[in-house]
Amino acid sequence: MADNFEKKISRQMDDFKIHPSEAVWQKVDAQLRKDKRRRWFFFLLSVGVLLGSGSFLIYERSHNASAHVRPQPVAISSKTGANTSKENEQLKLEPSSSAIPSQRNDAVSENNIKEDNKPVLQNNSFPNTISKSAAKTKIVESNIVADKKVTTMRKPASSNNISANHLPAQKTAINSKAEPVKKQTVHLQTPVVDTTVQITGVNNTPVDKQSTNTQPASTNKKTTDSATRQVALQEQQRNETVTPNEKVAVDSPAPEPVAAKRKMQTGWSLNAGITDVRSSVIPAKGFTTADTYAIPLTGTSGIPGGLSGLLSNEYSIRSNVQAGVGYAVRFPFGKKAWFVTGVQYQYHRFSVIERVRRDTFSAAQNRLVSNFSNENKTAFNFHYISIPTEVQWQIAQTTKGKLMLGTGLLHSFKFAASTALPSFADSTSAAAFYQPIIQLTPAYEWKTKKGVMQLGWYFNYGLLPVYNNVSKNHWWQTGLRVQYWFKTK
Amino acid sequence: MQHRQLIKDCIKQKPAAQKELYDLFAETMLAVCYRYTKSLADAEDVLQDGFIKVFRNLSAYREEGELGGWIRRIMVNTAINFLKKKKEYQYDMSFLNEPLHPVSDDNPEIKLRTKELADLIRQLPSGYQTIFNLHAVEGFTHVEIGQMLGISEGTSRSQYMRARNLLMTWIEKYNSELKTSSYGG
């Protein structure tokens, strides 16, 4: 019958109930709300990370795709007149640059193509007798990209159109030197014929050939002429407006130098400054009256007889410190801009001084007298996890660095708030969970050994009130920001 | 299931539904927590933690048993974890090897009110109290209790017997005092 005892206990305990205090539900409810906010925070964080990584992948893919279809600007000077038109007729018969007629291939093979049909690169350099200072120089940079050749020219504005007809009779000798080069810089005397071509060998083996002639006087002439014609054909096909009898001076616009590919950069961000809570960007001064009560005049009998003064609760918000640190990542955006995001910890603190003001009329002095009492200073601490979404624009470039302007939003999510006085604990929990802060950060960045250092001065303004229950009082912050971006390998 | 809609709303995190569910079970569950702890404040702490777990894991409730039983199980587990963490309870969890109290009646009449009986159970040493609650009130086997508390089945059984005898002694004493006072009164 031992079980009977347990059954009795169990049955009796089943009916046992105790009413919990109201505080239990309040705590449970507060915790559930916090969970909800946390879920939102992690949801937004994961969305931000996904968007960031997705946009990075899209950017990388599009960037790689564009690298394969790089335009091929060519600087050309072609012959004109009767010869040109004649040659054009011949050239028109030639299908494309990839199939060079045999006679021209012969001319090429005479000089440049080895019997094994391996690619031959010929470099015609100039004798040392040419004085750089005496000559008006032109820098021709030839970049070989895949099957195409990109010629980049930097030249004085005055020497735009260069025609073969203007060539002087006596030119320099050319040293042939079979040396495969990918990139070369040649200093030429102006006027100059600059021709950069790539032609295909007999069995379509690509033959890189670069000839730089000032006078078609040697065996290279054939090669140069044929190459020139080939390129001229391509150019003519592009520029239909050029008539055969016209004196042609086809110079494509000087292409810009091929900029180094900008890559995503990771780094850290550190900021520190002052913060305040104001209803406007311009900080106010002094105390603000929170509420005012009339002090009743009490007679000798203890019965209130009228107004004897005013009692006001006043407060003043004082600036305090603000600091943050975090991991940042920036993606190239457009030609000269970066999109910056990441995760940061931000700390804000502001102080409130409370006091009681008592305005009474002094009959002796015949004026209102103000007395202050119960002055109380309290600091409020706020801890945020922030996700910056900022665009850094390059607005100027100097010899040593770049002047940037950062604009964007700092999405801040409160995860803790505290104050020194327990009586203000409720007011800290009433602070807004989400705080978008608009940022304006002029900055200067310069290269270092291991990356890029950026020093800026930030101006922040909170777009939402600091507290849920107050319609105004926004954050504003200012201070210094340091960002360091590591070199991408 | 009678609470199906309420559960759905709670999973959707509707505050009104959460409050309704809390109101429905809070009193019963506080009584459960009360039996495992030594003070009402501790019991309320366990209740708070337990309900937070309930709301967080409500989507895992499979409706295989009564909702009340599922919540009760969470409360019991929360209480055990609470006892393990609290330092003041850990001394009593060492299961003192006291001699078994001999009892004259193996099935004494329980004349105590429910609250008094609960208070009597709470006066047991924590180890005894936990095992007694788990076996006599919740109906767990000694194997299950051993797994929950990390002790052997034999230890659970012997500790339970000691707790049971001690409680019977106290009940007999209470009954005799009640008898004396009624005669005297």
Q: What is the pLDDT of residues B93-147, one digit of tens each?
A: 455 555 555 666 666 676 677 888 888 888 888 888 889 899 988 888 999 988 8
CB-CB: which of B18, B44, B106 is closest to A21? B44
Closest Cα in chain A, distance from residue B162 (Å): 14
Closest Cα in chain A, distance from residue B88 (Å): 22
- CB contact under 8 Å between B164 and A1, yes or no, is no
CB-CB: which of A20, A24, A32 is closest to B55? A32
Distance from C-alpha of A440 to C-alpha of A459, rounded to nearest angstrom: 5
Which of B19, B54, B86 is the last residue before a domain boundary?
B86
- Give phi and psi for B141, each to the nearest 5: -80, 165
For chain B, count helices (H), then strands (E): 9, 0
CB A437 within 8 A of CB A460: yes
Residue written as token pair 């001999």? B102
CB A332 within 8 A of CB A263: yes
Closest Cα in chain A, distance from residue B182 (Å): 23
B-chain CB neighbours of A13 within 8 Å are: 31, 35, 114, 117-118, 137
Q: Which of B47, B59, B105, B113 to mutate to test the interface with A (most CBs of A within 10 A)?
A: B47
Q: Which residues contact B128 (CB under 8 A, 6 or more apart)?
A: B92, B159, B160, B162, B163, B166
Closest Cα in chain A, distance from residue B30 (Å): 6
CB A130 within 8 A of CB A118: no
The pLDDT value recorded for residue B117 is: 84
One domain for residues B14 and B79:
yes
User: Does residue B11 belong to the interface with chain A, where contact is any CB pair within 8 Å?
Assistant: no
Distance from C-alpha of A313 to C-alpha of A289, rounded to nearest angstrom: 6
Closest Cα in chain A, distance from residue B90 (Å): 25
One domain for residues B105 and B74:
no
User: Does residue B28 belong to the interface with chain A, where contact is any CB pair within 8 Å?
Assistant: yes
CATH number at residue B59: 1.10.1740.10
Helix (H, G, I), strand (E, B) or coil at A258: coil
Q: Could you tell me whether strands A206-211 and A122-125 are parallel, antiparallel, or unpaired per DSSP bridges?
A: parallel
One domain for residues B36 and B105:
no
Q: Residue A401 CA to chain centroid, in angstroms? A: 15
Cis peptide, bond prior to residue A191, ω within 30 of zero:
yes
Which of B36, B69, B86 is the last residue before a domain boundary?
B86
Distance from C-alpha of B14 to C-alpha of A350, rounded to nearest angstrom: 35
β-bridge mates for residue A177, sequence order: A123
Q: What's the start-to-end Cα distance of chain B, in Å?
A: 52
CATH number at residue B144: 1.10.10.10
β-bridge mates for residue A196, sequence order: A210
The pLDDT value recorded for residue A202 is: 42
Q: How many CB pairs under 8 A join A and B?
A: 85
Distance from C-alpha of A417 to C-alpha of A384, rounded to nearest angstrom: 9
One domain for residues B180 and B101:
yes
Residue written as token pair 């109101």? B23
A86 residue type, one letter? K
Number of domains chain B contains: 2
A-chain CB neighbours of B164 within 8 Å are: 5
Distance from C-alpha of A37 to C-alpha of A137, rounded to nearest angstrom: 67
Distance from C-alpha of A379 to C-alpha of A370, rounded to nearest angstrom: 26
CB-CB: which of B13, B26, B164 is closest to A20? B26
- CB contact under 8 Å between A36 and B13, yes or no, is yes
CB A278 within 8 A of CB A263: no
Q: Which residue of A has its CA nearest to B10?
A: A32
Position with higher pLDDT, B160 vs A247 = B160
Q: Which residues of chain A have pLDDT under 50?
A: 1-2, 71, 73-221, 240-250
Distance from C-alpha of A180 to C-alpha of A23, rounded to nearest angstrom: 84
One domain for residues B145 and B75:
no
One domain for residues B29 and B97:
no
What DSSP string describes B16-70? HHHHHHHHHHHHHHHHHHHHHSSSHHHHHHHHHHHHHHHHHSGGG--SSS-HHHH
The token duo for B59 is: 């989507």
Confidence of residue B45 (pLDDT cuts 50, 70, 90): very high
One domain for residues B67 and B8:
yes
User: Does residue B143 belong to the interface with chain A, where contact is any CB pair within 8 Å?
Assistant: no
Distance from C-alpha of A269 to C-alpha of A483, rounded to nearest angstrom: 4
Q: What's the start-to-end Cα distance of chain A, in Å?
A: 81
Helix (H, G, I), strand (E, B) or coil at A125: strand
CB B122 within 8 A of CB B33: no
The pLDDT value recorded for residue A299 is: 54
Q: Enter the ipTM.
A: 0.84
One domain for residues B58 and B105:
no
The pLDDT value recorded for residue B152 is: 86
One domain for residues B75 and B144:
no
CB A192 within 8 A of CB A139: no
B-chain CB neighbours of A28 within 8 Å are: 22, 48, 51-52, 55
Domain membership of residue B35 as a residue range = 4-86
Position with higher pLDDT, A466 vs B12 = B12
- CB contact under 8 Å between A28 and B22, yes or no, is yes
B-chain CB neighbours of A18 within 8 Å are: 27, 30-31, 34, 40, 43
Instruction: State pTM to two decimals.
Output: 0.40
Which of B60, B86, B112 is the last residue before a domain boundary?
B86
The token duo for A159 is: 């020497």
The pLDDT value recorded for residue A280 is: 54
One domain for residues B74 and B102:
no
